[in-house]
Structure 1
Amino acid sequence: MKRSLLIIILFLSAFAKAQDYYFAAYAPFQQNIPTPEQFLGYGIGDQHTRHDQIVSYLEKLAEVSDRATIAEYGRTHEGRKLVMLTVTTPENHTNLERIKTQHLAFTDTSQKATNYDQVPVFIQLGYNVHGNEPSSSEAALLTAYTLVASQHADIVNYRKNAIIFIDPTINPDGRDRHTQWANSFKGSPLVSDNIDAEHTEMWPRGRTNHYWFDLNRDWLLGINPESRGKLNWYHEWYPNVVTDFHEMGTNSTHFFEPMLPIGSLDPIMPKENYEDLNNLFAPYFADALDQIGSFYFTKEAFDGTYPGYGSSYPDLQGALALLFEQASSRGHLQDTDFGTISFPFTIRNQYTSSFATVKAAVENKATLRKYQQDFFVSAFAKAKTDQAAAYEFGDPNDRNRTKAFIDKLLLHRIKTYKKGDGRYVVPMAQPQKRMVQSFFETYSTYRDSVYYDASAWSVANFYNMRYKGLNSVPNLRDEITSTETIATVTPVSKTKYAYLINYDDYNATALLYHLQQKGIIVSTAFKPFTAKTQRGTIDFNYGALLVPVSRQSMDATKVHTIVSEAQQRYQVPIYATNTGFSVNGIDLGSRNYVKVDTPKAAMLIGDGTSSYEAGEVWHLLDTRVHMPITKILMNNFRFADLSKYNTLVMVSGNYSRLSDGDVQKLKTWVSQGNTLITIGRATSWAINRKVATGKLTEKKKDTSKVTERKNYVDARANRGKQRLGGAIFEVDLDLTHPLGFGYRYRDLPVYKNNNVWLAPSKSEYNTVAKYTKNPHIDGFISEENLEDNLKPSASLVVSPQGNGRVVLFADNPNFRGSWYGTNKLFLNALFFGSLIN
């Protein structure tokens, strides 16, 4: 008995010693509440904690303490829980709905609340949006325990004067991918050598989610369930302060805001936010880190120009969003220029900054509340001076793309109204006025030329949504609160002759694949026509789909059943006709209808390739077309039987791993009648390796120009301006080309975030999309790149190779899962590539 007692005492004292490194300053703690170490069975920092263990611990805190509750706000692609732990006093929990109502009064301009210091401040601590930046989720465990269990006067005060929401892992799928890697390669003793496998994850690494999306770019775009769940939660609570904890290079220190000045000439974010509030909070972080001897820096990096970060989106919602970047141990212990950096050290800095945030927020809650109130009031005041009073938009020919765009507006609580005839109106004078700006406004003048990420994000252009500013607001009556009825269609009636489908609709490709999978033979029209249908006379565009009933291997009843099921699933207009004689244009028996072969697609992935672009292709086909694509690892290419596929996708990347034999294998496969689709840097590679016969734009060199001497300190900025971080340009699209099927207008916005300059084809028919004479729509591009590189270039070219072809995309048509406007170009390459002669 004495021996057992001694073991227990030694066990608890060991835990206490481990705990002291993190939170000795917040003792004493409630003894009935387990520490993370006691619950997990190992010290925080001794190994990486799986997400399910993190959730279980927070659930335990909610179970044993009336200071905590836990709620699920969503699930990841892989089914992991997304949870929010709420910590405050038991009394505040009991009255949380009343407190919430009082809090939201400051976001409601119809109310004149003045009790700024009498309502608990709402703080949302968000951790681990990048899965392989793991220290913050470990810090979240320590933070949660301290806030729930500590009896220290400061913590008691925080609980009383704040509602604290802890989101421990924003990206559970990516975290667990990295956690498994780091724990699997952990040595005993620890190996600090940078080249050790523990510190060098394999492709695609843990930064991203299941489909390899960077969730820290997804707040504005709202593509993934992790982001959509978080946005729905956010707009229910509107916290006053939001944190965004990250990691950076091992040889760095610790970063907190203020950031690098915003690159926009006239930022949408209020100046009071990025100057006054940041400078108000910064001394708290400096003091806390000084006390534990940690080094740090501010202002030198990480701009908040793009509104889709976790550290910028809340700034457009009346909150103060705060970015933290901690030097990473990328494992448990790693060498640096200043010795080793340990996992516990990185965790302690994140933990320290968490409590500095809580302290600053509680001590300045009246300032934060007044700021949030003024923020929403100013939205209406500033709307009076805007050039446009409202924006009108819509595409009656593509209701599913319009629906997807409206869904995004509603996700951000942007008030939208129906005008009629497939058109909609968004007024500027509304609480989400700054989000309206983010969706519709474009810019051409900037005060900086180097961006951490994109310099253009006008979402309307992402969706190829034709819109215009209005000088006055029309009569607004029918507010859209749901997208359920926007794309509904009239059920198609039965015919024994043919079904016709305009290819304009975004979901038409998915419907086409569905029909093909059910054994339906489908043709596409190479010329437009007008036909009599059971619903009247209808005009059909290039690419219209034809289902000839009598040419199917099943009877008319079965065909109608399959066509009806497809229509119900994808809500695409389908028309039945009883005659092949057209009112205008080609008849239904014309040779200008060509059978569409079912794509059998594969994509090269793995080391050297862009996991972002590969994930975008995978996500598009999985979630919208419901079509499988085989993902071939680069190392397996030489063993792959390419005869199983008629289409191969190569995204941006370094394909030097492919041997000369691999390249010849690829050339032979293309020449046999197949389609190779290249995107971005894969296009450059294909041209340089003679897989495609295209050329890159060559800038004429001025040999007489003398090199100008410049200061070394300016090198990064001067060279950085030639990098195209992300901007939007206009191309002229050949609507008659199979790759242009389904488009109604020749002018099309495209997104460019690379320096791939593709020369137009020497063939007069193979340049599918070329930049227009005045191509700039939105975002920063240097004058040199615009005039010498972009304007002479093409965005999309076809290179015939034997009986096959290479479809060369200079730009990424699937960027971040959000370019609905150019997805169809890529899908056309998959489905209609074999039809290009």
Structure 2
Amino acid sequence: MTKLIRYLFFLLAVQPAFAQTPTPDQFLGFPLGSRFAYHHLIVDYFKSVQAQNADRMKLVEYGKTNEGRPLMLAFVSSPENIAKLESIRTNHLKSVGLLPGKADASVPPIVWLSYNVHGNESVSSNTSMKVIYELLNKQNALTQDFLKNMVILVDPCINPDGYERYTQWYNRVQNVVPDVTPFGLEHDEPWPGGRFNHYLFDLNRDWAWQTQIETQQRIALYNQWMPHFHADFHEMGPSRSYYFPPAARPYNKDVTAWQRQFNDLIGDYCRKYFDKNNWAYFTRNDYDLFYPSYGDTWPTANGAIGVTYEQGGGGRAGLALERGNEHDTLTLNNRIAHHYATTLATLEAVLSQKDKVVSEFIKFHQDATNAPVGNFKTYVVKAGSNARAFSSWLDKQGFLYGTAGKSQSTKGTELTTETEQPFKIEQNDLLISAYQPKSNLLRILFDPKPALEDSVTYDVTSWGLAYIFGLKAYGLKEKLTPASANPAAVDNPVPATSPYAYLASWSSAGDVAFLAELLKNGLLVKTSNAAFEMGTVSYPAGTLIITKKGNESLPFDKLVTSLANKHFVKLTPVATGFVNSGPDFGNDNVIALRAPKVVAVAGDGVSATAFGAVWHYFEQQIKYPVTIVNAAKLASLPWNEVDVLILPDGRYGDIISEKQLEAIQGWVRNGGKLIAMERATDAFVSKSGFGLSKKFSDKKKDDDTFKKYGDQQREDASDSSPGSMFEISMDATHPLAFGCANDYITIVRDAYERDYLKDGWNVGYLKEDNYKAGFVGKKMSGKLKNTLIIGAQEIGRGQVVYLMDDPVFRAMLQKGKVLFGNAVFR
């Protein structure tokens, strides 16, 4: 009873203090920076702050992660602005043409602050609590000035699943007194690390492609607000200091003069804080503004001022880390102070140019709508297998488009060959006019060969939409107005009389998902390994054939048509198994596809992102079950229960022993299928029974030996391909190439120098002239000629598929998804 009375007195004593906005220390029960706050505590803190400041803060849950954690955004401003928040939003969008009508009032600058896109760059979310407290601290004259003059959006954690993966691990292993020893356990984050989201995707590279649920939900809200400024807070290696703008070269050529100027201005304001405190920093190195899928470049292409901040630290830093190079100990408190300082610098810079920030944003979009830059005033995308996936992506980006509505002959530049040619626009082709507010983003993403002003760059250097989506697309110099209608829905009615079979195309990721669901539902599905003709219609090899025979026990017509409608697949019912030319449906060349038991390997030694791409492919793209096994347990697999084994990119030298190699080969001989991807293929090079061998390059020349130390970065670049487009020459007759053989273009990021298979099928390879676009170093260039990219080897009753290129890389390549479906199911 005495303890209860004391507790009640305590509550009464602290109640007046907590009627005010609680500090992070008061709410958490420990000093901010003394430990990592769990994600739910950060969310609860934001809710608590909002409850005390309802007139100056609005907290919105804009989505959930794959693991069910909330995605939150706080809107902070003056009471007057919060009261008319929706009016500010609509007037803002009207002023730039993204909503109809004219704005009836001016709007203040809208600044979006994004923290913790990489989960183990965990200082950001902890900093966000200090930021939100100080923004609402009435005693802070500077921040109150911010609230009067702008609307500030604070996202405390873009990647809650990754953040929590890191935080849970670190808080379990940390010493009571943080161990500053670099080789201590608390500085040795285990696989797969907290950097990535649930599916181990890098969310900072997903802005343009929106493959992940977090990105999709965030950009849906972003497009409703279109901020004038977006700041993205990161961490880098712990031995480094702090990076803030000006950004490094290369800049995308479409970054405007005003955006470049403001990039410099941000640096001026950041330096003021860092010089005052004698903090180390650097600018104009490493972090460029080229690839348009980052948290700085995608907003920049949308007219905002987009910037990146990078604090030395990351997952290895923990709470405290001794740094010999700096003769100091880097602490979480240091890192919070630095990110807080650049947050203030950001807001001060915007405040200093608040009117011009708004007027330049309006001008950016008005110019885009009325006088778009660039040679092409209209983009035409031919109706076809990937057009529906493309139109769905256009919707997510917020682009305006429609169908042609009528047929006409014209002339345009085919975007994958960059050749001007006559062609015919059909009524169902997509037309995308450059005369729209988001014209600049449209032009940048359609660009088949973006100009690169500097070879030292950070990521992918080519991304043309025609390449990515496998489209036949044209750029026109004339302005065409699309019809208002979007692509028609696919409707396969249940026929009155059951057909002999249904035929379905095989050329898109949707077709793969359709097959996967047919197999999951127990349907017998066949495919033709050769082209055939029925009536006047030709059907390519790989066409799916779903016969009534073998499916009598199921509600055949209803099930097949409903699944086809779900996946937007157009069915062709046929009344016979007899064809004009090619194999009849009972021919040995028409084979049954079965539902395989698929196993994918994860764990130490395996690339987390490569595994994540495979995992996401099965669970989210085609929704087909995949069993995940730890690489360390590979030796104990019950081989008789496995049909397909996938080895994602990784270093398998310590994973696959000679004994395990024999076991794998024996399993393949008995009918198993092995899919080895990228560096996983190293485990089979020159191994007995496997036909893979290395193609050796010429010996180094003398001038390579006597290279200059100061040229090291550029020397490294000369032997790299950070991400460039190549057209792979394909054997269109092999089942691995079905549905994707024509113009198969991929993103090449490395050279594996594989010789052609002498005992197997060279399905995809690079010849002398397969380069399309993007940066390839002069040393790398020779390695990407006359080399195997996709191979298949039959061993006994089974098969090994070698993929020196990752077809499901970042879930970007539509034709790659078809090729991977071939590897798994055919």
- Asked if Structure 1 and Structure 2 have the same fold, meaning a TM-score greater than 0.5 normalized by the shorter chain, the answer is yes
- Written as runs of structure 1 = structure 2, the 5 A alignment for 1:624-773 is 624-658=621-655, 659-690=657-688, 692-701=690-699, 705=702, 707=704, 709-743=706-740, 746-762=742-758, 766-773=761-768
Secondary structure of the corresponding residue to residue 392 of structure 2: helix
Which residue number corresponds to residue 20 of structure 1? none
Residues 269 and 494 (structure 1), Cα distance of their counterparts in 2 relative to 1, 3 Å cut: farther
The answer for unaligned runs of 5 or more in structure 1 is: 13-28, 833-837
Distance 1:627 1:150 in 2: 54
Distance 1:547 1:64 in 2: 62
Which residue number corresponds to residue 45 of structure 1? 33
Which residue number corresponds to residue 407 of structure 2? none
Deviations 1:269-318, CA, capped at 9 Å, x for gaps: 213313x1111121211112233332211112211211111111111111
Distance 1:807 1:318 in 2: 45
- Whether 1:273 and 2:272 are equivalent positions in the alignment is no
- Written as runs of structure 1 = structure 2, the 5 A alignment for 1:504-653 is 504-531=507-534, 538-552=537-551, 554-555=552-553, 558-653=555-650
Instruction: Decide which of 434, 437, 440 is 1:428's aligned counterpart.
Output: 434
- Whether 1:470 and 2:476 are equivalent positions in the alignment is yes
Which residue number corresponds to residue 140 of structure 1? 128
Give the letter aligned to residue 661 of structure 1.
K
Distance 1:579 1:608 in 2: 52
Instruction: Decide which of 300, 319, 336 is 1:315's aligned counterpart.
Output: 300
User: Is the Cα contact below 8 Å between 2:528 and 2:542 reproduced in 1?
Assistant: yes
Residues 113 and 568 (structure 1), Cα distance of their counterparts in 2 relative to 1, 3 Å cut: closer
Give the letter aligned to residue 256 of structure 2.
P
Which residue number corresponds to residue 221 of structure 2? 233
Residues 796 and 395 (structure 1), Cα distance of their counterparts in 2 relative to 1, 3 Å cut: farther
Give the letter aligned to residue 547 of structure 1.
I
Query: What RMSD, in angstroms, separates the aligned Cα atoms of the two structures?
Result: 2.7
Distance 2:532 2:43 in 1: 59
Distance 1:558 1:102 in 2: 54
User: Is the Cα contact below 8 Å between 1:109 and 1:376 reproduced in 2?
Assistant: no
- Written as runs of structure 1 = structure 2, the 5 A alignment for 1:383-402 is 383=372, 386-396=374-384, 398=385, 401-402=386-387
Q: CA deviation at 1:584?
A: 3.3
Worse-matched range after superposition: 612-621 or 752-761: 752-761
Which residue number corresponds to residue 807 of structure 1? 801
Q: CA deviation at 1:109?
A: 9.5
User: Is the Cα contact below 8 Å between 1:120 and 1:160 reproduced in 2?
Assistant: no
Secondary structure of the corresponding residue to residue 235 of structure 1: helix
Deviations 1:152-190, CA, capped at 9 Å, x for gaps: 222221111011110000001100100101111121122
Which residue number corresponds to residue 196 of structure 2? 208
Worse-matched range after superposition: 172-181 or 358-367: 358-367
- Written as runs of structure 1 = structure 2, the 5 A alignment for 1:440-459 is 440-443=446-449, 446-459=452-465
Give the letter aligned to residue 59 of structure 2.
I
Distance 2:333 2:719 in 1: 40
- Written as runs of structure 1 = structure 2, the 5 A alignment for 1:95-174 is 95-108=84-97, 119-174=107-162
Give the letter aligned to residue 43 of structure 1.
P
Secondary structure of the corresponding residue to residue 584 of structure 1: coil
User: Is the Cα contact below 8 Å between 1:109 and 1:377 reproduced in 2?
Assistant: no
Which residue number corresponds to residue 310 of structure 2? 325
- Whether 1:503 and 2:499 are equivalent positions in the alignment is no
Residues 496 and 453 (structure 1), Cα distance of their counterparts in 2 relative to 1, 3 Å cut: closer
Instruction: Decide which of 796, 802, 826 is 2:820's aligned counterpart.
Output: 826
Worse-matched range after superposition: 594-603 or 612-621: 594-603
Q: CA deviation at 1:695?
A: 2.3
Secondary structure of the corresponding residue to residue 619 of structure 1: helix
Give the letter aligned to residue 323 of structure 2.
T
Distance 1:691 1:164 in 2: 63
Distance 1:548 1:99 in 2: 58
Q: CA deviation at 1:476?
A: 2.5
Distance 1:681 1:236 in 2: 42
Give the letter aligned to residue 336 of structure 1.
R
Distance 1:187 1:404 in 2: 50
The answer for unaligned runs of 5 or more in structure 2 is: 405-425
Residues 94 and 770 (structure 1), Cα distance of their counterparts in 2 relative to 1, 3 Å cut: same
Number of equivalences: 794
Deviations 1:63-115, CA, capped at 9 Å, x for gaps: 12121110111111111111110111111111222333443354239999999
Q: CA deviation at 1:735?
A: 2.1
Secondary structure of the corresponding residue to residue 714 of structure 1: helix
Distance 1:224 1:455 in 2: 21
Instruction: Decide which of 314, 329, 337 is 1:340's aligned counterpart.
Output: 329
Give the letter aligned to residue 454 of structure 1.
V
Distance 1:332 1:785 in 2: 41
User: Is the Cα contact below 8 Å between 2:317 and 2:330 reproduced in 1?
Assistant: no
Residues 594 and 259 (structure 1), Cα distance of their counterparts in 2 relative to 1, 3 Å cut: same
Q: CA deviation at 1:223?
A: 0.8
Identity score, percent: 27
Residues 568 and 747 (structure 1), Cα distance of their counterparts in 2 relative to 1, 3 Å cut: closer
User: Is the Cα contact below 8 Å between 2:502 and 2:571 reproduced in 1?
Assistant: yes
Distance 2:213 2:599 in 1: 26
Distance 1:718 1:600 in 2: 45
Give the letter aligned to residue 298 of structure 2.
Y
Secondary structure of the corresponding residue to residue 613 of structure 1: helix
Q: CA deviation at 1:488?
A: 4.5
Distance 2:40 2:473 in 1: 45
Residues 799 and 356 (structure 1), Cα distance of their counterparts in 2 relative to 1, 3 Å cut: same
Distance 2:121 2:197 in 1: 13
Deviations 1:549-571, CA, capped at 9 Å, x for gaps: 2334x34x622233233223322
User: Is the Cα contact below 8 Å between 2:109 and 2:150 reproduced in 1?
Assistant: yes
Give the letter aligned to residue 255 of structure 2.
M
Distance 1:432 1:528 in 2: 42
Secondary structure of the corresponding residue to residue 50 of structure 2: helix
Give the letter aligned to residue 359 of structure 2.
K
Give the letter aligned to residue 717 of structure 1.
R
Distance 1:488 1:758 in 2: 46
Give the letter aligned to residue 441 of structure 1.
D
Secondary structure of the corresponding residue to residue 555 of structure 2: helix
Give the letter aligned to residue 684 of structure 1.
D
Distance 2:432 2:455 in 1: 31
Q: CA deviation at 1:691?
A: 6.3
Give the letter aligned to residue 408 of structure 1.
W
Q: CA deviation at 1:664?
A: 2.0
Distance 2:622 2:90 in 1: 42
Secondary structure of the corresponding residue to residue 752 of structure 2: coil
Give the letter aligned to residue 123 of structure 1.
V
Give the letter aligned to residue 701 of structure 1.
K
Distance 1:39 1:592 in 2: 69
Q: CA deviation at 1:773?
A: 4.4
Q: CA deviation at 1:380?
A: 4.6
Worse-matched range after superposition: 169-178 or 619-628: 619-628
Secondary structure of the corresponding residue to residue 595 of structure 1: strand
Instruction: Decide which of 70, 75, 99 is 1:86's aligned counterpart.
Output: 75
Give the letter aligned to residue 634 of structure 2.
F
Give the letter aligned to residue 754 of structure 1.
D
- Whether 1:791 and 2:785 are equivalent positions in the alignment is yes
Deviations 1:708-753, CA, capped at 9 Å, x for gaps: 644311111122231111011112222221111223x532111111
Distance 1:818 1:760 in 2: 27
Worse-matched range after superposition: 580-589 or 810-819: 580-589
Distance 1:111 1:675 in 2: 56
Distance 1:491 1:538 in 2: 22
Secondary structure of the corresponding residue to residue 136 of structure 2: helix
Worse-matched range after superposition: 130-139 or 580-589: 580-589
